[in-house]
Amino acid sequence: MAKILIIEDDPGFRKMIDLTLTRANHVVILAKDGVEGLERFKAEKPALVISDIVMPGKQGTETILEIRAMSQDVPIVAMSGGGMNVGRQYLDAARKLGADEIILKPFRPSELVDLVSRLLLAGK
């Protein structure tokens, strides 16, 4: 069980991730954008962060850079949709900026749970 911060602007997708990880016995902290995500990161000190890349206001890439400046240790998963090629380009950029893993939307809940478990077990 770990405290996980989800930064996602789509309410329905945010809820799906929340339910998926809560059912996997994690404590989930939700943020609707990068600004709120950074506030929650500072206040809650999560064990893992999952961030969307394309969001209004502060983009996920900016958010990842700022989280990395605060902590080199917390694992970060970047996620994006927008079609296979577009999503992949955003995710490749996110990895270069500090994301430990990437996942392309849409994904199966079991894929997310497996990815989170793997990162938490590895200690990053």
Per-chain mean pLDDT for the chain: 92
| pLDDT for res 56 | 87
The DSSP result for the chain, as a single string, is --EEEEE-S-HHHHHHHHHHHHHTT-EEEEESSHHHHHHHHHHH--SEEEEESS-SSS-HHHHHHHHHHH-SSS-EEEEE-SSHHHHHHHHHHHHHHT-SEEEESS--HHHHHHHHHHHHHHT-
The total of structural domains in the chain comes to 1
Q: Which range marks the domain in which residue 18 is found? A: 3-122
pTM: 0.93
**Could you tell me the CATH number of the domain that includes residue 53?**
3.40.50.2300
pLDDT in tens, 24-67: 999 999 999 999 999 999 999 999 999 999 888 888 999 999 99
> What whole-number distance in Å separates Cα of residue 23 and Cα of residue 17?
10
| pLDDT for res 87 | 60
